[in-house]
Amino acid sequence: MRRLPIFFLLDVSESMVGDNHRQMQQGLERLVKALRTDPHALETVHLSVISFAGQTRTLTPLTELAMFYPPRLPIGAGTSLGAALEHLMNDIKRNVIKTTPECKGDWKPVVYLMTDGKPTDDIKDAIARWNSYFSKSVTLVAIGIGKHASLDVLKQISENVLHLDASTDADFRDFIDWVTMSVVAQSRSVSTTEKGVSLAKINPDILSLVNDISQANKVDEDFVILNGRCQKSRLPYLIKYERSAPNFENTNISMGGSQYYLTGVFALEQDYFDLSDTRCLTRTINTDELIGAPGCPHCGNPYGFAMCRCGQIMCIHGDGPATCPTCEQACNFGQSSGQGFDVSRGRG
């Protein structure tokens, strides 16, 4: 039986932490459950999941649908889209069976690329390689998630670029149902055509087709991601700020344009470091621009935004001595002078 290879190339960078990451994890599970009810998909569909942040990792190689189980999606620092494309192309070259005069190979592969930000690496060579050797033999559906997605970059690698604006869990479930219906449609059509991809009907309330680059959003300083470590468990966590302020009715908080507002703090596992960009972080932001400070999501310490002399953010219980979980230095924390200080930003 000829296979229909479906690759999911998923952005798991720091900016995805929170609702986007949770919804994508749940969405994979929902998609697989629905696909298994369709006999055409069960016969042909093989799934692979590739995650990318600063590093890229194949979480699940091409696996037949009946044997596929959604992997746990990690989180990492950076959005190395160029490296992710190179990894994807190598995976396709290595694992997709080509048609020869002697035998029929796999059906034309389909890639669903999902990202919410912009690349943090050089993507020119990867784009050139993709357009020269893969764009005609692989169908790439690129989905920009949310208002910060760099749709102009996606237009350089695909004619099928969509913008997803899913403000609720129900919206994201509708999007996953659209992906499911598109995969099912493709699995039913491969026996009659190998041209293009059979996309399901788009719900304009959550998805819009990006027809030209002029529609693509240019983004820059839209959010700030800071990474810290729990003093007790030594596990990492992310503090996320966005320029778009929450609803501050009945408060005296300023809505200044140069400020970022706390939207959440998220506990991570040790594999965050495995998937992160290892280049030195040189970008900083002053704490005067950040509104809100969280506690530690791991141990519950009330202060999750204390900085050691080494520059690492850590959690503390309050004033007094503490040991930095990164450099092992002994620190002594007291009340701030009220002046802001610079902290290193994550790559997003």
Nearest Cα neighbor of 300 from 250, 223, 232, 253 is: 232
Rounded mean pLDDT of 111-118? 92
pLDDT digit string (tens) for 58-99? 999 999 999 999 999 999 998 999 999 999 999 999 999 998
Domain boundaries, the chain: 4-215, 223-344
Rounded mean pLDDT of 129-148? 93
pLDDT digit string (tens) for 230-251? 999 999 999 999 886 555 444 4
Alpha-carbon distance values, 338 to 12, 240, 257, 287, 304 (Å) = 35, 22, 21, 10, 17
Nearest Cα neighbor of 62 from 34, 97, 28, 27 is: 97
pLDDT digit string (tens) for 182-227? 999 988 887 555 455 667 787 888 888 776 544 444 334 678 889 9
Alpha-carbon distance values, 68 to 31, 52, 75, 231 (Å) = 11, 20, 21, 38
**pLDDT at residue 215, rounded to an integer:** 46
CA pair distance 202, 339, nearest whole angstrom: 50
Lowest mean pLDDT among 52-56, 183-187, 272-276, 282-286: 282-286
Binning pLDDT at 50, 70 and 90, where does residue 281 land?
Answer: low
- Classify domain 4-215 at the CATH topology level: Rossmann fold (3.40.50)
CA pair distance 321, 98, nearest whole angstrom: 63
CA pair distance 302, 24, nearest whole angstrom: 30
Total Cβ atoms within 10 A of residue 310:
12
**Per-residue pLDDT at 56 exceeds 90:** yes
Lowest mean pLDDT among 82-91, 114-123, 133-142: 114-123
More confident residue, 37 or 148: 37
Contacting residues for 330 by C-beta, under 8 A, at least 6 apart: 321, 322, 323
**H-helix or E-strand spanning residue 94:** helix 81-95
- The burial class, CB within 10 Å (0-12 / 13-18 / 19+), for 313 is buried
**pLDDT at residue 198, rounded to an integer:** 67
What's this model's pTM, rounded to 2 decimal places?
Answer: 0.85
